[in-house]
Structure 1
Amino acid sequence: MAATDFKDYYAILGVSKTAEAAEIKRSFRKLARKYHPDVNPDNKAAEAKFKEVSEAYEVLSDSDKRKKYDQFGQYWQQASRAGGGVPGGGVPGGAGGFDFGSYGSFEEFIFELLGRKSGFGGAGGPGGARTQTRYQARPGTGGFGSAGFDTSGFGSSGFGFDPRTASGASSSRGLYDQTAELKLTMSEAFHGVEKRFSIGSESVKVRIPAGVKPGSKIRLKGKGARNPQTQQRGDVYLTVEIASHSFFQFDGDNLVCEVPIAPDEAVLGAKVEVPTPDGAVTVSIPAGVKSGQSLRLRGKGWPKKKGASRSDQLVKVVITPSKELSEKERSLYEQIKDSRQSDPRAEISNIKL
């Protein structure tokens, strides 16, 4: 990060570096009232300023955070004058005994300083879950606190924040709401599953209902970030992601699959076994079926809301000739070719531009 990206929290709040806590608090309250989104609806510049002011206050109002910020700021200025930092990317021992060598950027340090590097603990399910913390003012949130960060990251076994992938804040959630992407297998989503999450030191058990679809929202009320003034907590919103399946895919509300059949089955018709989410069924393939034609299995698809019924399963027929023929099979195909009277390409023989 360039030196010009350094955020001077003292300048943002309009106080000196020797300012007492009471002065910092008075300045913050004054600026927060001035730029709060409730006072400046649809004003993006005021919204950005409010986030910046809140961020500055969160650091400078905490004595430990302020001390570390002061130390890192001094190092940042020295590194800038030295032409971009110390070779090897670290400062042995750091300033005042604080080691900054483990931080890849100033933003990374600040996010850990704010205590957002590990907002969630482990979660069940394949692939874990991606999480995002949304801090966004909206009417009725009440009070002023941390704002302006949207941190996201990936964990092999659960929730985790990575400040290096931070992006913009959501405009549709409360100031202390959080969002997470919950990955499920198709079997878990079809049958429903119970998951247990660790949010800080708290263990939360969540029942995922049968029939959730990609993009479904699950709300964990009162499990989000805590308002430092009111001690009330926001909500966590889980957005469902379903891992791809080797056979079943979604087609709107229905499921779709491809079933291979042999050329003789396409010509003569056949009865074939087709998998469905809850077991195989026998399907009649009509004589003369075309490759790509779909057959509908009513009520064999995805559970609908409240589990009262299910959507349909569409079976796409794919005619699949054998790549390895026996001598007898080849001979019979040769006989069919020699005795065939119809031309499958008759209708396209005269097409031109």
Structure 2
Amino acid sequence: MSKRDYYDILGAERSASEDDIKKAFRRLAMKCHPDRCPDDPAAQERFKEAKEAYDVLSDARKRALYDQHGHAAFEGGMGNGGGFRGDVGDIFGDIFSDIFGMGGGRGGPRRGSDLRYMLELDLEEAVFGIEKSIDVPTLVECATCTGSGSADGKTVSCGTCRGHGRVRMQNGIFSVQQTCPHCGGSGKTVANPCRDCRGEGRVHDERTLSVRIPAGVDNGDRIRLTGQGEAGPAGTVPGDLYVEVRVREHAVFQRDGDDLHCEVPIRFAQAALGAELKVPTLGGEAAIAIPAETQSGKLFRLRGKGVKSVRSGRTGDLICRVVVETPVRLTRDQRELLERFEATFQGEDAAAHSPRNSSWLDNVKQFWDRVTS
């Protein structure tokens, strides 16, 4: 059986930081550690699987190998046999990489991590669109060294890859090249690190960004801001920022795709005699005609009063569900009127005024007949 992806096992993104990897493993360990689950073999197996994944992804060298080659990086000694070799002039290694497309060093330096920001919106903001300012804690380019990581701008050749930007993994007669994990593929390291960023070229800070939210977005929609993610190591490009939308619950409307739903309470006299009601929409008031003898729960559809889709441009509908309310806090006169009104429903003709009640009684009679037969 093939092994599960290490990132999937830990529930982590491929762009996850070392701290994120550590936190993900700790969460699993708290749930599945053998000391906590001594009688659960399945939990113990999950812990063993998580430990194996963590051992690889928490080690920068092993993680780089895994990202490049997957589980194959640790089969047959690839990850352990030859180790790193700075000399990349071996012609067989270059040919092997070119033929099989495994020349990881040719892809250039790594980039900054992508970030995700959860943005809560009111329903009206999601429907009509809005421009929002957000504060994003992230790694940004160091202002002191302008992202170079160097206090004086001087660099030296990387001692791991000897300035080539690539290292070679030896496995028997074969060798596979990949980006140098120490210099990120640049072939250079900082001679005199910047004091503010300690040679990283980036520092922790909070940025304020303006995000334009298009009209019609819904829960789970994502807006990509290219280059606004985490700053990369010195000399590399930043990642992207993904703004994910969460729409707050509304006091009147519930959204279902491009349609809106709402409940409209009416008095039973209005339901019995008919009435014209004003109902709210996101664009103002609208009128609906309640026909006589309307039953509670009847739906009325207002075309084009819903949400305009951010993708198709189609506008949904507003669906109003009328709910007949029982009157409360009756005065003496109101109670007497209702009692006289109720008295008119006595006799054989009473069922004609309550169609649902009659069908319900018929169903009850059939049920009892089946039970007692």
Task: Calculate the TM-score normalised by the size of structure 2.
Answer: 0.50
Pair 1:299-2:311 in alignment: no
The answer to whether 1:315 aligns with 2:320 is yes
Residue 302 of structure 1: SS of its match in structure 2? Answer: coil
2:233 maps to which residue? 228
Q: Does 1:250 find its partner at 2:255?
A: yes
Residue 41 of structure 1 deviates from its aligned partner by: 6.4
SS of the counterpart of 1:260? strand
Q: How does 1:90-109 map to 2 (within 5 A)?
A: none
Query: Alpha carbons of 1:41 and 1:279: their partners in 2 closer, same or farther (altered >3 Å)?
Result: farther
Distance 2:122 2:307 in 1: 14
Q: Which of 122, 133, 152 lines up with 1:196 in the alignment? A: 133
Structure 2 portions without partners, runs of 5+: 1-22, 31-54, 80-103, 137-204
Q: Where do residues 304-343 of structure 1 align in structure 2 (5 Å cutoff)?
A: 304-305=309-310, 308-340=313-345, 341-343=349-351
CA distance in 1, matches of 2:318, 2:256: 9
2:291 maps to 1:279: no
The DSSP-based 3-state class of the residue aligned with 1:204 is strand
Q: Does structure 1 residue 209 correspond to structure 2 residue 217?
A: no
CA distance in 1, matches of 2:110, 2:312: 43
Indicate how the Cα distance of structure 1 residues 28 and 217 shifts in structure 2: closer, same or farther if over 3 A, else same.
Answer: closer
Deviation at 1:318, TM superposition (A): 0.4
When the two chains are superposed, the root-mean-square deviation of aligned CA atoms in Å is 3.5
Q: CA deviation at 1:198?
A: 3.4
Report the secondary structure of 1:322's partner residue: coil
* Alpha-carbon distance change, 186 to 334 in structure 1, aligned in 2, over 3 angstroms: same
CA contact (8 A) 1:192 1:208 kept: yes
Secondary structure, in 3 states, of the residue corresponding to 1:40? helix
Q: Which amino acid aligns with 1:347?
A: S
Q: Give the greater-gyration-radius structure (CA).
A: 2
Question: 1:197 Cα deviation (Å)?
Answer: 2.4
Q: Is residue 2:195 matched to residue 1:187?
A: no
Please say if residues 110 and 236 of structure 2, whose CA atoms lie closer than 8 Å, have aligned partners that are also in contact: no
Q: What secondary structure does 2:67 align onto?
A: coil
TM superposition shift of 1:251:
2.3
What secondary structure is seen at the aligned counterpart in 2 of 1:198? strand
| Deviation for aligned residue 1:281 | 1.0
Structure number having the greater strand percentage? 2
Q: 1:267 aligns with which of 261, 265, 272?
A: 272
CA contact (8 A) 1:32 1:144 kept: no
User: 1:37-80: per-residue Cα shift (whole Å, max 9, x none)?
Assistant: 221169999xxx9xxxxxxxxxxxxxxxxxxxxxxxxxxxxxxx
Cα 1:348/1:232, change in 2 over 3 Å: same
SS in 2 for 1:38: helix
Gap runs ≥5 in structure 1: 6-11, 14-26, 50-137, 146-174
Offset at 1:208?
0.7
Q: Which has the higher contact order (CA 8 A, sep 6+)?
A: 2
Equivalent residue, structure 1, for 2:67: 37
Contact 2:258 2:308 (C-alpha < 8 Å) held by counterparts: no
SS at match of 2:284: coil
Distance 1:194 1:298 in 2: 28
Shift of 1:196: 1.5
Contact persistence 1:259–1:317 (CA under 8 A): yes
